[in-house]
Structure 1
Amino acid sequence: MENKTKLDQSRAPIYEALERFRQMRVVPFDVPGHKRGRGNPELTAFLGQQCVGVDVNSMKPLDNLCHPVSVIREAEQLAAEAFGAAHAFLMVGGTTSAVQSMVLTVCKRGDEIILPRNVHRSVINALVLCGAVPVYVNPEMDQRLGISLGMKREQVAKAIAEHPKAVAVLVNNPTYYGICSDLKAIVEMAHAAGMLCLADEAHGTHFYFGENLPISAMAAGADMASVSMHKSGGSLTQSSFLLAGPNVHAGYVRQIINLTQTTSGSYLLMSSLDISRRNLALRGKQIFEQVKKLAEYARSEINAIGGYYAFGQEMVNGDSVFAFDPTKLSVHTLDIGLAGIEVYDLLRDEYDIQIEFGDIGNLLAYISIGDRVQEIERLVSALAEIRRLYQKDPSGMMSQEYIDPEVVVSPQEAFYAAKESLPLRETEGRVCSEFVMCYPPGIPILAPGEKITREILNYIEYAKAIGCSMTGPEDPDILRLNVLA
C-alpha cells in the first residue's frame, strides 16, 4: 500500500537535531559525566571532540528512545518507509536485542515456535528468557561444503501440520553463508495456519536497497524482521533496526523492547542509524551494485587459483537453497588441506588481513560498502600464496558444520535447572545446561536442554584443536561443561 505522502528520505532528523544542539553551546548539568569530553581528555583525544561532543543524554530537543515523540519518531518513520515496513524501531543493543524483542513479542511461556536449528544464539537466549519451546526444522546439509542450508518447504509444512498450536515460524534471511529459504512460501504457509512469520535478517540489510538480490522479509510479507544495519548497511557497531509489518501491534513491541533495552540510548548509535538509512535510501542501488560486482570478481579470481571453492549462484536448487546472496564471499578451503579457521589465522597473522570468520571447512570475507578493488586483489594474492606455501593432504579432516541436536527439555528449564560441572568427556549422554559455540557465527553447537553425544564432543574438541574461537560455557577453557544434575 502506497503512503499518501512520501517522506523526504534526504532528511536525517536525529543528526539534524544533534547539529542544532551542538551549535547552542548548552551548559551541561546532566549526564554523561565527561561533560562533552572535558572531564576525560584522554578519551576525547582518542575519539575526537566531534564524537564525544554529541555523546549526550535524552532531553526534550533530542527526544527519548523509550518513548519517542519527535526527532526519533521521525527517524523511525523514515526508516519504516525506506525498508517497506509498517513500523521501524531504532535498536542500540545490536541485532541480538532486535531478535530477542521480536521473539518476546510473539512468544510467552509454553508457546511453541518453529525455527531452523542453525539460528544465532540470540534466538535461543530469547527462549531462555520467555520459556517458549523450540520446534526445530533441521536444515538440509551440503555434504561437500559441510554447511547447513535453508529450510525446505515440505519440512516447514510438516512442522506446521505436526504443531498446529505453534505461534510463529522464524527464518534466517540469509544464513551467514548467504543462503536463503523460500521466504515468501514460508510466510504464506505460516499465515494460512494462523501463525506469524519472523525473519532474522542480520545479514540481509542490502536486500532492501539493492537490485537482483533475494527478497527481503518485508517484501515477502513477514510480520517482523531484525536487520543488522551495522553489518552491510554502514552504521556503527551495535546499531540495528527492528521492523514490523501491519499486523503487529507497534505499541506492544515498544513495551517489549523497553523491558530489556537501555533507557540511555546512545546518540552516537542512533545518529549512525539515521545517517546510514539516508545514505542507503538515496544511494543504495548503486552502492550494492558495486558490492555485488566486487564479490563476483573476487569469486572468479579465487576459483581461478585452484584448490579453493568460492561458491555462488550455482548452489541454488529452488528449495533448501531458494536463493543466494551474491554479496557473500564464502570460500571452501578443505581441498587445500586447511580448515577455514586455519586460513583465517594465516591471513591475519601473516598477511594483516582480517576475515569475518573461519570455521571447520569455510571462511567468509565480508564485502561491503567500504571495500575497493585493491583490497580484493590483496586478499586473492594472499590466498594464492597460502595455497602455495601451506597446502596439505586433506585426508582425515572433519567437514561437517552441523549436527542434528536432540532436544530433551526446553532451553529455559535447562538453563535454570540444578546443574553439575563435569569434565568434557564425562558429559556424554547427559543434558547440557549451557551454550557451546564458535563465535562468529554464534550458532550453538550445543544449547541448553540438548543431549550431549560423542559426535558433538568430537566436534568440540576438533574445533578447539584447529583454533576456532569457542564461547558460551562457564568454564573459559571449555574443559568442563555444566549438565543437568
Structure 2
Amino acid sequence: MQLNQNRMPIYEALNNFKKERVVPFDVPGHKRGKGNEELTNFLGDKCLAVDVNSMKPLDNLCHPMSVIREAEELVADAFGAAHGFLMVGGTTSAVQSMVLAACKAGDKIIMPRNVHRSAINALILSGATPVYVNPGVDNRLGIALGMSLKELEKVIKENPDAKAILVNNPTYYGICSDIKGITELAHKHGMLVLADEAHGTHFYFDENLPISAMEAGADMAAISMHKSGGSLTQSSLLLLGPNVNEGYVRQIINLTQTTSGSYLLMSSLDISRKNLALHGRDIFEKVRSLAHYARQEINQIGDYYAYARELVNNDTIFDYDVTKLSINTLDIGLAGIEVYDLLRDEYGIQIEFGDIGNILAYISVGDRERDIERLVSALAEIRRRYKKDRAGMLDHEYINPIVTVTPQQAFYGEKYSVPIGESIGKVCSEFVMCYPPGIPVLAPGERITKDILDYILYAKEKGCFMTGPEDMKIENLNVLK
C-alpha cells in the first residue's frame, strides 16, 4: 500500500489537541507553561503548549497503537525499512538497542574499534564480547578508515560463533566501508548486520551519495535525524530490515527508553521525515554543492587539505560522503582543535569538532554560500597569522588497542585509582575520549600503553575536550587490581 508522505500524524494530533483546550490535571507540572513563566518566555507558548504527556488521543511511545504507530509506518516507508522506531534518547539509545537486541551476555559481536562510545557502553550493559577489527589508517591524515572486507573475512573465520557485525556508515570523517559486501558476507555466515548511521541520514534521499544500510540489506540501522535530517537534538530513528522481530526490539528499547516520550522530539521527527521524503533529494543536492564549493575554495588557500572521493581505494575507503567538509590542518602547524578554538574565539564560527589533525565543518540545508565564504576567509587568515612549522606535532588519531578483558568485566571489576603518569602497563576500567567525536582513546578492558598516554596528554595540552573518567580533571585513571 502506498503511504501518503504528506501526512504528519503526531503533528496533526497535537494541533487538534491544542484546539480542544483541555484542562490539564496531569503531568508535566508546568501546565502548558502557566506554572513556569521564565521557561515560557524563553521557549515560547507554542512550544510549552505541546510539551504534553501520553494520553489516548496522542498515543504512547512504549506501546503505540494510533498516531505514533502511523508515524513509525511513514518512517519505514520513507527510509525503505520494514519498521521504524521513533527514538527520544538520541542515536546512543538506538545503537544500544541494536546491540542489546542482537547479543546476550557472552555472545560475540564483531566491530571496528573506532566505534562511538555508545556501542561499547552497550557491551558493558549486555555482557557481550567485542571482537575488534582494526580499521585501516590513513598515514597522511592520521585518521581511522573503514573495515577491509578481506580483514573482516579473516575475523569471521576465526569467530564463526559471532552473532553480529557492527559497521559505521559513514565514520565522522565521511569514510564508508563496503557495507553491501559486509552484509552479504555476514548473512552467508548467519550473522546480523547493525549499522551506526548517526552521520548518514542523508544517504537515504540522494542516489549520488553512498549506499544506505537498508538498501545494502542490513538488519538494523541507527539514524541521527537531528544531525543532517533537521529534527530536534536528541531525536533519532531505529530502522529494521525484514528479518528482525519488531516486537522483541520494541521490548529491548523499552528496557532503557523513557516512558515519558517528549512530544516535542517526536513531532520534530514527524515533520522532518515528511520534509526529507518530499524534498530530500533537492535538499542534499544543495548540501553537496555547498560542500564541493567549500572544498575547492579551501584547497586553494594552501596547506589545508579538504578531502573527498579522491581517497577512495575500494577497500578501507570504499566510498566517501561528499557532504562532509573534513579538513586536515597539520601542514599549517596547528592541531585541528587549535583551529577549532581560533575559529570560535577569534572569528565567531562554531564548527562541529577539531581533533589532533582535522576539523569537521557540518554543512546542511540551513547554510548559505556567504556562510561558506566567511569560513574560507577565516581559515585563510588563520593560516596567514598562525602558521608554523609542523615539527613535533602528533600526526595520528587512532592507536590499535590491546584488549585484555571484556568491557563489562573491566567496568564492574575491582579497581583502584592511579595518577595518569603511572598508569602505563595497567588495564583501564573506564573510558577516555575526545568529545566530539566520542570515539574512545581508551575503553574499559584495554591496556594502557605509552603511545596511548602520550596521545591523551598531547590532546589535553592542545585543548581537546577530554571526557569519560571518574576524575573530571583526568589527572588519575581507574585501573583493574
Q: Same fold (TM over 0.5)?
A: yes
Aligned to 1:216: 212
Q: Which residue of 2 aligns with 1:443?
A: 439
* Structure 2 counterparts to residues 233-252 of structure 1, below 5 A: 233-252=229-248
SS at the partner of 2:416?
Answer: strand
Match in the other structure for 1:478: 474
Does 2:177 match 1:181? yes
Q: Residues of 2 paired with 1:303 and 1:337: CA distance? A: 16
The whole-number CA distance in structure 2 between the counterparts of 1:232 and 1:415 is: 33
- 2:347 matches 1:359: no
Letter in 2 for 1:215: I
Which 4+ residue blocks in structure 1 deviate beyond 3 angstroms? Answer: none
Q: Indicate whether 1:257 and 2:262 are aligned.
A: no
> Aligned to 2:325, what secondary structure does the other structure show?
strand
Corresponding position of 2:153: 157
Q: Which of 374, 377, 387 lines up with 1:381 in the alignment?
A: 377
Give 1:290's match in structure 2, choosing from 286, 292, 297: 286
2:400 alignment partner, one of 377, 389, 404: 404
Deviation at 1:211, TM superposition (A): 2.5
For 1:117 and 1:289, the matched residues in 2 are separated by 32
Report the Cα distance in structure 1 between the residues aligned to 2:421 and 2:161, rounded to whole angstroms: 38
Q: What is the Cα deviation at residue 405 of structure 1?
A: 0.3
TM-aligned CA deviation for residue 425 of structure 1? 1.1
For structure 1, the residue ranges without an aligned partner over 5 or more in a row are none
- The count of residues paired between Structure 1 and Structure 2 equals 481
Structure 2 equivalent of residue 60 of structure 1: 56
**Residue aligned with 1:34, SS:** coil
* Residues 1:127 and 2:123 aligned together: yes
What per-residue deviation string (whole Å, max 9, x for no partner) do you get for residues 438-484 of structure 1? 00000000000000001100000000000000000000110000000
* Structure 2 CA distance for aligned equivalents of residues 238 and 353 of structure 1: 23
In structure 1, the residue matched to 2:324 is 328
CA apart distance, 1:96: 0.1
The correspondence for 2:313, drawn from 294, 317, 321, is 317
Q: Kindly provide the amino acid, as one letter, of the partner of residue 254 in structure 1.
A: R
1:90-105 counterparts in 2 under 5 A?
Answer: 90-105=86-101
Structure 1 residue 257 displacement after superposition: 0.2
CA distance in 2, matches of 1:159, 1:421: 35
Structure 2 distance, partners of 1:374, 1:88, is 37
- How far apart, in 2, do the equivalents of 1:213 and 1:100 lie? 26
Which one of 16, 21, 30 corresponds to residue 12 of structure 2? 16
In structure 2, list runs of 5 or more residues that go unmatched.
none
Deviation of 1:370 (Å): 1.0
Is 1:419 matched up with 2:406? Answer: no
Q: Equivalents in 2 of 1:139, 1:152: separation in Å?
A: 7
2:143 to 147, 150, 168: 147
User: Paired residue for 1:49, among 37, 45, 49?
Assistant: 45
Report the Cα offset of residue 151 of structure 1.
0.3
Please say if 1:79 is aligned against 2:62: no
Q: 1:201 aligns with which of 197, 204, 223?
A: 197
1:100-111 aligned at under 5 Å gives the runs 100-111=96-107
Q: Which amino acid aligns with 1:30?
A: D
Using the alignment, how far apart are the partners of 1:451 and 1:369 within structure 2? 43
| Sequence identity (%) | 74
Residues 1:88 and 2:88 aligned together: no
Preserved contact between residue 233 and residue 369 of structure 1 (Cα < 8 Å): no
Structure 2: how far apart are the matches of 1:380 and 1:371? 14
Contact 1:167–1:195 (CA under 8 A) maintained in structure 2: yes
Please give the secondary structure, in 2, of the residue aligned with 1:200. Answer: strand
Shift of 1:289: 0.1
SS of 2:477's partner is strand
Mapped to 1, the partners of 2:157 and 2:365 lie a distance apart of 42
Asked if 1:452 is matched to 2:448, the reply is yes
Q: Residue in 1 aligned with 2:26?
A: 30
Bigger CA drift: 214-223 or 387-396? 387-396
Give the conservation status (yes or no) of the 8 Å contact 1:204–1:227: yes
State the AA in 2 paired with 1:325: D
Paired with 1:161 and 1:385, the residues of 2 have a C-alpha distance of: 52
TM-score norm. by structure 2 comes to 1.00
Residue 461 of structure 2: aligned partner: 465
Q: Which amino acid aligns with 2:313?
A: N
| 1:11 Cα deviation from its structure 2 partner | 0.3
Equivalence for 1:171: 167
Structure 1 Cα separation of the partners of residues 224 and 124 of structure 2: 22
Give the SS at the match of 2:173: coil
TM-score with structure 1 setting the length: 0.99
Distance in 2 separating the partners of 1:400 and 1:313? 21
Q: Distance in 2 between matches of 1:82 and 1:216?
A: 13
Residues 131-175 of structure 1: per-residue CA shift (max 9 Å, x gap) = 000000000100000001000000110110000000001100000
Deviation digits for residues 96-146 of structure 1 (CA, Å, limit 9, x no counterpart): 000000000000000000000000000000000000000000001000000
Spell out, residue by residue over 1:230-261, the C-alpha distance to the aligned partner (whole angstroms, 9 max, x if none).
Answer: 00000000000000001100000000000000
